């Protein structure tokens, strides 16, 4: 287990408060992309950031926003390093982040059982999962809570989201895909 100093905890809180540029309803901490903050003396900080996927165009903006907020709080030298291991997963989104996504009208990713690589299944576009207990949580409409939804497009406003529609209230909504 890695121990952190009080200064590193404070700096992590500052860096983690930066809003995600593509999903500004979430902070980088809630999204789970902020991996670590290392203070190398009072004036030099190294921040480790993991993109949601390799080639994520928002990583540069995230890094600049972290640098800006830490500079504003008196840190002279800030280095933001992109780390790819361990890879980011939707499991890294906090409970608070999932709540905020739902309130923002985006269906949060479902918690899926993990036992190795994520399986890729191409199949029907309509949600077939019901409310009955089982290994997969039902995908709920963030507006009315119905599990009767259909896939409209595997990609939405960003590559990490799919576009779906509720068959009950008929509202379209984004679904943050499970990774």
Phi, psi of 13 (to 5 degrees): -60, -40
Q: Which residues in the chain are classed under CATH 3.30.300.130?
A: 6-82
Q: What is the pLDDT of residue 133?
A: 45
Q: What is the pLDDT of residue 122?
A: 62
Q: What is the pLDDT of residue 42?
A: 77
Q: What is the pLDDT of residue 81?
A: 97
Q: Homologous superfamily of 6-82 in CATH? A: Fe-S cluster assembly (FSCA) (3.30.300.130)
What residue ranges of the chain have pLDDT lower than 50? 128-135
| Residue pLDDT, tens place only, 116-132 | 665 666 665 555 444 44
Q: What is the pLDDT of residue 132?
A: 47
Q: What is the pLDDT of residue 141?
A: 94
Long-range contact pairs involving 30-34 (C-beta distance under 8 Å, separation at least 24): 30/93, 30/94, 30/96, 30/97, 30/100, 31/92, 31/93, 31/97, 32/88, 32/89, 32/91, 32/92, 32/93, 32/94, 32/97, 33/62, 33/88, 33/92
């Amino acid at each position: 287990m890695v121990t952190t100093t009080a200064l590193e905890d404070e700096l992590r809180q500052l860096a983690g408060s930066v809003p995600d540029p593509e999903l500004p309803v979430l902070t980088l901490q809630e999204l789970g992309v902020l991996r670590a903050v290392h203070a190398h003396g009072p004036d030099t900080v190294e921040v480790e950031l993991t993109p949601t996927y390799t080639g994520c165009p928002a990583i540069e903006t995230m890094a600049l926003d972290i640098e800006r907020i830490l500079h504003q709080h008196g840190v002279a030298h800030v280095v933001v390093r992109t780390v790819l291991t361990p890879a980011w997963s939707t499991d890294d989104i906090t409970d608070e982040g999932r709540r905020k996504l739902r309130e923002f009208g985006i269906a949060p990713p479902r918690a899926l059982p993990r036992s190795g690589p994520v399986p890729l299944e191409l199949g029907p576009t309509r949600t077939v999962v019901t409310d009955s207990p089982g290994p997969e949580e039902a995908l709920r409409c963030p507006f009315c809570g119905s599990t009767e939804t259909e896939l409209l497009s595997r990609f939405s406003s960003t590559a990490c989201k799919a576009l779906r529609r509720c068959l009950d209230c008929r509202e379209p909504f984004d679904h943050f895909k499970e990774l």
